[in-house]
Amino acid sequence: MREADISAELLAWYDTHARVLPWRVGPAARVEGERPDPYFVWLSEIMLQQTTVAVVKEYFRRFIARWPTVTDLAAAEDAEVMGEWAGLGYYARARNLLKCARVVVDEHGGRFPDTEAALLTLPGIGPYTAAAIAAIAFDQPATVMDGNVERVMARLFAVETPLPKAKPELKALAATLTPQIRPGDYAQAVMDLGATICTPRNPACGICPLRPACTARAGGIAADLPRKAPKKEKPTRFGIAYLARRTDGAWLLETRPEKGLLGGMRGWPGSAWTEAAPVETPPLRAAWHDPGGEVRHTFTHFHLRLALRVAEVGVDTTPNRGDFLPPAQFRPSDLPTVMRKAFDLAQSSLAKD
């Protein structure tokens, strides 16, 4: 089957089977002249970088309800955006989200650039996201590569080189299929195919529109592809978090350094997170106690086991790091997920005292 025929088959399948997503303009609406909102495309793609579509749908709806345009988002308070982002992983992406929105408003008049090259100059936009926005929002013939597309290409062309080494080869093959006509719909069609039919396990080859062209299916190895290099085992790090509540209900919090994990986010003062036993570094003198149990959380590159120390202190207490936040200004939902886990455990402990 020729490249043009493969693309045409996939587009025909997409016209009938496209997923309904809150940020997407479906094929029927596009025929009627409706165009995707570049802001919606950008926001959804940033959210989807480490999270599933099922999870992102609700986050996307909440963001759009609060900040319906890129101008609204650019004017938002950092802490509010970070709070809404909690649970989507990597807060650096949320910080870049705000930076990008502000650059689009300040330097581009509130309009996203319409070329892949120009999009790459924006904060937080890498090759995948630039290609996705260019293709989906502006119908540019950009080759979009995510995990779904890599899997489809590996099976379609029976590429047995393990990932990540195979990435350049897979992108080159994908580029040969990217059509000049309807490239945005085509990009979404490949991703939908990978998400719903050409799945990681038990691919539904019997109903795949590309079945006649699939080399891996013909060779009986579709379910084995793409091959992946062995992953390194994640290390475990240990730390201590100190949760101090004043008798007036204020909580002691500190802002983490801008660079690094959870950069710029408020959290509980604590020790460094290391693979060795953590060093006690309390932020003030108090009758600290261990509430029992520990917080366990997994980041992309390591597992964290966080011991807690909890104390209730007087209103005249002065910490040597961090500041007490009055109850009216404290919202647990604004904290990163690992810090919220610590708060929930500490609350249970204080309630028993």
pLDDT tens digit sequence for 168-178: 999 999 999 99
Tokens describing residue 332: 């647990």
* Extents of the domains making up the chain: 3-224, 236-352
For the segment 305-321, the average pLDDT, to the nearest whole number, is: 95
Q: How sure is the predictor about 347, in pLDDT bands with cuts at 50, 70 and 90?
A: confident
Query: 45 or 231: whose pLDDT is higher?
Result: 45
Q: What is the pLDDT of residue 300?
A: 84
Q: pLDDT (tens digit, 9 = 90+) per residue, 37-93?
A: 999 999 999 999 888 999 999 999 999 999 999 999 999 998 889 889 988 877 788
The mean-pLDDT minimum among 38-52, 85-99, 210-224, 291-305 falls in 85-99
For the segment 326-333, the average pLDDT, to the nearest whole number, is: 90
* 3-state DSSP of the chain: CCHHHHHHHHHHHHHHHCCCCCCCCCHHHHHCCCCCCHHHHHHHHHHCCCCCHHHHHHHHHHHHHHCCCHHHHHCCCHHHHHHHHCCCCCHHHHHHHHHHHHHHHHHHCCCCCCCHHHHCCCCCCCHHHHHHHHHHHHCCCCCCCCHHHHHHHHHHCCCCCCECCCHHHHHHHHHHHCCCCCHHHHHHHHHHHHHHCCCCCCCCHHHCCCHHHCHHHHCCCHHHCCCECCCCCCCEEEEEEEEEEECCCCEEEEECCCCCCCCCCEECCECCCECCCCCCCCCCCCCCECCCCCEEEECCCCEEEEEEEEEEECCCCCCCCCEEECHHHCCHHHCCHHHHHHHHHHHHHHHHC
Q: What is the pLDDT of residue 20?
A: 96
Q: How sure is the predictor about 204, in pLDDT bands with cuts at 50, 70 and 90?
A: very high
Residue whose entry in the numeric block shows the structure tokens 């104390």: 311
Residues in the chain: 353
Percent of the chain with pLDDT over 90: 81
How crowded is the C-beta side of 74, counted as CA atoms within 13 Å? 19
Q: Topology of 3-224 in CATH?
A: Endonuclease III; domain 1 (1.10.340)
As a whole number of angstroms, the distance between CA 31 and CA 152 comes to 26
Q: pLDDT (tens digit, 9 = 90+) per residue, 103-151?
A: 999 999 999 999 999 999 999 999 999 999 999 999 999 999 999 999 9
Q: Which residues pair with 246 in a beta bridge?
A: 313
* Residues known to be catalytic: 45
As a whole number of angstroms, the distance between CA 92 and CA 264 comes to 9
- Angle separating helix axes 53-66 and 38-47, nearest 10 degrees: 130
Distances (CA, A) of 298 to 68, 238, 292, 295, 337: 32, 12, 20, 10, 10
Give the chain's mean pLDDT.
93
Q: How sure is the predictor about 348, in pLDDT bands with cuts at 50, 70 and 90?
A: confident
Fold match, 3-224 / 236-352: no
Q: What is the pLDDT of residue 150?
A: 97
Q: How sure is the predictor about 352, in pLDDT bands with cuts at 50, 70 and 90?
A: low
Residue 346's closest CA among 272, 266, 303, 292? 292
CA 94 to chain centre: 9
Q: Is the per-residue pLDDT at 351 higher than 80? A: no
Q: Is the per-residue pLDDT at 353 higher than 70? A: no
236-246 and 303-313 as β-strands: parallel, antiparallel, unpaired?
parallel
φ, ψ dihedrals at 324, nearest 5°: -80, 130
CATH class of 236-352: alpha beta
Q: How sure is the predictor about 212, in pLDDT bands with cuts at 50, 70 and 90?
A: very high
Q: How sure is the predictor about 14, in pLDDT bands with cuts at 50, 70 and 90?
A: very high
For the segment 184-196, the average pLDDT, to the nearest whole number, is: 97
As a whole number of angstroms, the distance between CA 330 and CA 47 comes to 25
Q: pTM (2 decimals)? A: 0.76
